[in-house]
Amino acid sequence: MTSRIAPAAAQAYSPLYFLASVGAGGLTVTFFMWLMFWVPHPGKPVPVFEDIMAAFATGSTAMQGMIILAMAGIAVFFFLNIKALVWNLSHLRGFVRAEGFAAFRASNAETQMMAMPLALAMAVNGAFIAGLVFVPGLWTITEYLFPLAMIAFLAIGWMAFRHLGAFLGRVIGKGGFEHGANNSFAQKLPAFALAMVGVGMSAPAAMSTNPLTVGVSVVLSTFFLVSAGVIAVIALVMGIHAMMEKGVAPEAAPTLMIIIPILTVLGILMLRQDHGLHTTFEVHGSAGETLVMLSRILSVQVLFAIFGLFVLARIGYWSRFVVGRATSAGAYALVCPGVGLSVMMHFWLNKGLVAAGLVTKFGTAYWAISGLAVGVQLAMVALVFYLNRRHFRASPIPLAQPAE
C-alpha cells in the first residue's frame, strides 16, 4: 500500500478492508511453514532464531537461499499486515462516526465489524512468528509470554463477542434480519474471527511445559473452537438456503470459500491441543488418526475450493471485480482461502503423510506436494500485491458496495 491514500479504498471505506491485513498476516504464516518443516529444530515444537541461524551456517546453498527467502517473506508480509491494520483502525474511526453508520448497524452487514477482531488476532499471531524468527533468545522467556498472549487473545475474544452479541441481540430481540440479502457465506465472518482467536489461544498448549498453562490453553481454545464451529454451521445452512432461492450475491461470492481458512485455523488448533495433551497429560494419539483428521479437513477444503471457483467463473466475478472496472473490498476474501489451503497442505504432508510413513521426507513425492503448496502460496502473494495496487493506488476506481 502507498502512504498517499486518496484511492478507492479511502473513498468508500468498508470494514472488509481489514481482510487486507488478515491476508498479509496469513502469507506471513505461509513463509513460516518453510522454516517450520524444512529447518531442524530439535527439542522445540517450532524453529526459533537460533535454529534458523544454525541451519543457515551449516546448510547447503539451497537451504541458505530458502532461509533468506522465508525470512524476507515473513518480514515483508508482517510489515504489510501491521500497516494495513493501522490504516484500517484509523479509517474505522471515521466510518463509525459517519452518517450512514446507523443504517449499516441496522443491516445484515453489521457482522462485517467482526473483521476487526479477526485482523487483531491475526496480527498477534503474526507478531509471535516474527518474534520467533528474528528475536534472539526469545524462547528462553516464552513461559512468561504465554500468559500475556492468552490475556491478549481473551481481550480480542471479548471484543469479538461484544460485536457478535450486539448483532444477535438486535436481530433476535427485535428481528430485522434480511434472509433474502444473506445469499452468501458472509455471515461466517464471526466464525472466522473466533477461530483465529482460538488458534492463538491454543499456542501455549503446544509450546509450554507448564501443566497449568497447557491446561488453561486447552480449555479456553476449546471454547473458541466450539463457538466458531456452531456459528459456522448455522451460517452455512442459512446461506445455502438464501442462495438456492436468490442466487449468490455477486460481490460476496468469494465468501463461498471462507470455510477453507476457517478449517485450516481450527485444524491447527486441534493439532496444538493434541501436542499439549500428549506431552503434558500423556494422552497419546496415533499418526494414523492425525492423518485421517487432516485428510478429512483437506477434502472439505478442496470440495469448497472447486465449488467456489466454479461459481466465481460462472458469475464472471474475476472479470467484474478483480480485473474489471468495478472493485469490492470483498475481493480480499479471495486471499484467505488460498493461504488456508497452502498451509493445510504443508500440515497434511508433514504431520499426516510423513508422520504415518506414507511419504519419505525430502523425497520426490514430498517435494511434489510441497511444490503444490508453494505454488498456491505464490499465487496469493501475487494476488495481494495486485489487489493492494488496485485498491490503494492514487487514482480512484468506482467501488461496488460490499454485500451483507
Q: What is the DSSP string of 367-398?
A: HHHHHHHHHHHHHHHHHHHHHHHHHHSSS--P
20/52 Cα distance (integer angstroms)? 29
Nearest CA among 259, 266, 227, 15 for reference residue 116:
15
Tell me which long-range contacts 167-172 makes (C-beta under 8 A, separation of at least 24): 167/110, 167/111, 170/105, 170/106, 170/110
SS3 content of the chain, % helix, strand, coil (to 5): 80, 0, 20
Tell me, what's the pLDDT at 327?
83
Q: For residue range 27-77, what is the model confidence (pLDDT) as tens digits?
A: 999 999 999 999 999 999 999 999 999 999 999 999 999 999 999 999 999
357/117 Cα distance (integer angstroms)? 39
Nearest CA among 260, 274, 276, 259 for reference residue 352:
274
Tell me, what's the pLDDT at 401?
47
Instruction: Read off φ and ψ for residue 182, nearest 5 degrees.
Output: -100, 30
CA separation (Å) from 215 to 209, 224, 270?
10, 15, 14
Contact 50, 103 (CB under 8 A): no
- Ranges of residues in the chain with a pLDDT under 50 are 1-6, 394-403
**How much is the pTM?**
0.94
Q: Can you state the angle between helices 18-38 and 61-97, rounded to 10 degrees? A: 160
111/165 Cα distance (integer angstroms)? 10
Tell me, what's the pLDDT at 139?
95
Tell me, what's the pLDDT at 2?
41
264/343 Cα distance (integer angstroms)? 7
Nearest CA among 304, 289, 297 for reference residue 346:
297
> DSSP letter at 366?
H
37/369 Cα distance (integer angstroms)? 13
Q: Which residues contact 238 (CB under 8 A, 6 or more apart)?
A: 179, 182, 187
The alpha carbon torsion through 321, 338, 336, 276 (nearest 10 deg) reads: 170
Tell me, what's the pLDDT at 320?
92
Tell me, what's the pLDDT at 7?
55
Tell me, what's the pLDDT at 10?
57
Q: Which three cell numbers stand for residue 82?
A: 501491521
Tell me, what's the pLDDT at 9?
61
Nearest CA among 187, 164, 10 for reference residue 84:
10
38/267 Cα distance (integer angstroms)? 20
Contact 186, 403 (CB under 8 A): yes
Q: Which residues contact 87 (CB under 8 A, 6 or more apart)?
A: 1, 5, 17
70/28 Cα distance (integer angstroms)? 9
